[in-house]
Amino acid sequence: MGAHGRGRTRDLRVAAGFLAPAVVAAVLLRLWPTVRAFWDSLHSTPLGVEAPFWVGLDQFAALFDDPGFRNSLEITALFGIIVNPLQIVVALALATLFNQRIRGAGLMRSLVFLPVAIPQSVSAVIWAVAFRPDGPLNGTLALFGLGGLAYTSSPTQALPSIMLVVSWIGVGYWMMFLIAGLKEIDPALYDAAALDGAGAWARFRYVTVPQLRRQLGFVLVADTVSNLLLFAPVQILTKGGPNGRTDVLMNDIFERAYTQADVGGAAAATVVLVVVALAIVIVQFRLLSRSEA
């Protein structure tokens, strides 16, 4: 083997050494749990302690016969349909605003992004205080002579309250991706549109949005997956209540695994969640690729 071959082998070993920790972490933290979830979904483990036995698809059939699981599917779908477009529209509006040369834009951008640096569990605790009957939100309403709201204890207000918390956390994160995309747009495009008589709205519609297609596509897919995996705010603020009105899929899986000791049912619900997420992402990618064609 020549010097070139030995050098190539040495480079491959160095590269493998750097990649090995990431590969091991991916296998242990991603691949193995996924394989185990599929295996558990096809086996029943009563109370989580008895020897597992094969049940095949019966566990999935029982899962979809469960009104509680069907409710969690409906709540998750409703949550995603409302909160995903809401977050993206608000993030795009803020990104467009803070990308302008206005006084204090940097400070306001930092304030909007600040919740991202706070763990979701801590954010949920902060909002739990704000949602208290004697908390600052109802105190502010009282200043204007308005009655207080029940927030997380109300069947009609609980899910919107969770949406508010999740959007407060997520909007700043997605906003930063869109600001990065706005920085890449050639200013000459706006100048050309202005010379053609295009107003602010026309420039936004025909220049900004088309030029942000890739970033918007990424934000759409990532935001969808992120909201499908929502757990901490729901568990801390409502635990899926009241009356199951905030029982999203991740909370349902947690309750099955750690409250009901139904390991097989939790694994089957996890498989359903993974399949739903993959299906939604595939559809989104196909729609985005068609729009780019």
Nearest to 272 by CA among 76, 109, 81, 83: 76
Instruction: Report yes or no: 280 and 73 within 8 Å, Cβ to Cβ.
Output: no
Q: How far is CA 164 from the centre of its chain?
A: 14
- Concatenated DSSP letters for 68-106? HHHHHHHHHHHHHHHHHHHHHHHHHHHHHHHTS--TTHH
Question: What percent of the residues of the chain are helix, what percent strand, and what percent coil, each to the nearest 5?
Answer: 75, 0, 20
Instruction: Report yes or no: 252 and 217 within 8 Å, Cβ to Cβ.
Output: no
- Concatenated DSSP letters for 20-64? HHHHHHHIIIIIHHHHHHHHHHTEE-GGGTSPPEE-TTHHHHHHH
Q: How far is CA 199 from the centre of its chain?
A: 34
Q: What is the pTM of this model?
A: 0.85
Instruction: Report yes or no: 163 and 79 within 8 Å, Cβ to Cβ.
Output: yes
Instruction: Report yes or no: 168 and 123 within 8 Å, Cβ to Cβ.
Output: yes
Residue keyed to tokens 């739990």: 128
CB atoms within 10 A of CB 200: 10
Give backbone dihedrals phi and psi of 54, rounded to 5 degrees, phi first. Answer: -70, 130
Instruction: Report yes or no: 151 and 158 within 8 Å, Cβ to Cβ.
Output: yes
* 32-72 pLDDT, tens digit each: 888 888 888 887 766 556 667 777 788 899 899 999 999 99
Tokens of 202: 């026309």
pLDDT per position in the chain (293 positions), as tens? 555 556 677 778 888 888 888 888 888 877 888 888 888 888 776 655 666 777 778 889 989 999 999 999 999 999 999 999 999 999 999 999 888 878 877 888 888 888 888 888 899 999 999 999 999 999 999 988 888 899 999 999 999 999 999 999 999 999 999 999 999 988 898 888 888 888 888 988 899 989 998 899 889 989 999 999 999 999 999 999 899 999 999 999 999 888 888 888 888 999 999 999 889 888 888 877 776 65
Please state which CATH number belongs to domain 66-291. Answer: 1.10.3720.10
pLDDT of 27: 83
Q: What are the extents of the domains in the chain? A: 66-291
Per-residue CA distances from 218 to 113, 174, 288, 290 (Å): 18, 10, 10, 15
CB atoms within 10 A of CB 194: 14
